[in-house]
Structure 1
Amino acid sequence: MDNEDKTNTDTLIVNRIFDREEEVRIESNRRPTGRCLFLLGILLVGFDISSFFLRGDRTRLMKRELRRT
């Protein structure tokens, strides 16, 4: 193996390492967005469900007040 072949091989190895690092960087940048959207969706659904139950409690309280008067 002469020097030129060794240099080409080293260059290919280095290029592969940089390509992999770039792929990992792209993947790591995408993951938090998906997680954040997922958590935001869970929070919104939870808020919607809790407001539904609170709305039911409010109507019960209003009906009680109307019966008393």
Structure 2
Amino acid sequence: MASSGSGDPLDSKRGEAPFAQRIDPTREKLTPEQLHFMRQAQLAQWQKVLPRRRTRNIVTGLGIGALVLAI
């Protein structure tokens, strides 16, 4: 049997994957290094989805503009 800290991604008893827990920096006492890492991770996630969001916003704007011109 694998313990929870053995690196096994599945809970051997229930067969479920563990959930990620969101960390609230105002409640948790984090070091400056941990805060910096969190900011870098959030920035990387934001930059990853930015092009898709920009495209979606442009398409939505063009669709609304076409609808307004058609009325």
Considering fraction of residues, name the structure with more helix: 1
TM-score, normalized by length of structure 1? 0.40
TM-score, normalized by length of structure 2? 0.39
Higher relative CO (Cα under 8 Å, sequence separation at least 6) belongs to 2
